Amino acid sequence: MAEPASGVPLLELLEVMRRLRTECAWKASQTHRSLARYLLEETHETLEAIDTGDAEHLREELGDLLLQVYFHAAIAEQAGEFTLDDVAADITAKMRRRNPHVFGSAAGGTPEEINEVWESIKATEKQRTSVTDGLPPGLPALLYADKVLDRLEREGAQPTVDRAADDLGSRLLALVAEAHAAGVDPEQALRDAVRGLLGG
């Protein structure tokens, strides 16, 4: 069993990134925008590691992904925008707010009930004006469709999905709706099916 984290390596990584930003010409020249492609690439490599079930591979890829977070924070710190501490404080406060069954007086419940509370608190915080507010347009299409269906459902809407449509897009949307109703992640399901097709 892994030992509880001490936090020391995290502080060492922060110091490494600060030094690299001042002493490595390539790293000093990078911006949030220039690094965006690496963040996307490392995210996909982490997903691939999760799919393989290889813990060592996942550990390595999580490190690469963590590097991207630290890199962006170091850039922001240098520009006087925010620090890694600010990032950590924000997400800690969010976790406390959105988990009242742990950090407040609310009762627990099933995973589904806990998720409903999370989504309710999130909706109150975000004050969305449409179901697509806050959904990045670059999300994979299956994930985007699943999130839109979920938000419509939460608003009490009953979206009409034509399961017998002739066009491919409507049939794909119907499959996403089927996965959503079954509590299945359509992106993961498709990745698993492709991996099975390739004998993985």
pLDDT per position as a tens digit, 47-69? 999 988 999 999 999 999 999 99
Percent residues over pLDDT 70 in the chain: 99
Which string of b and e fits 83-102 if b means at least 16 CB within 10 Å?
ebeebeeeeeeeeeebbbee
Percent residues over pLDDT 90 in the chain: 50
Quote the CATH superfamily of domain 8-82: MazG-like (1.10.287.1080)
pLDDT per position as a tens digit, 88-135? 999 999 999 999 999 988 887 889 889 888 888 888 888 777 888 888
* pLDDT attached to residue 136: 86
* pLDDT attached to residue 9: 93
> So where are the chain's domains?
8-82, 135-200
Nearest of 68, 92, 72, 69 to residue 81 by alpha carbon: 72
Whether the CA torsion 166, 152, 180, 134 is positive or negative: it is: positive
Highest mean pLDDT among 5-14, 64-73, 158-167, 183-192: 64-73
Please state the rounded mean pLDDT for residues 167-186. 90
* CA–CA dist 94, 105 (Å, integer): 16
Please state the rounded mean pLDDT for residues 150-160. 82
pTM of the model: 0.78
pLDDT beyond 70 at 200: no
Q: SS3 breakdown of the chain: % helix, strand, coil, rounded to 5?
A: 70, 0, 30
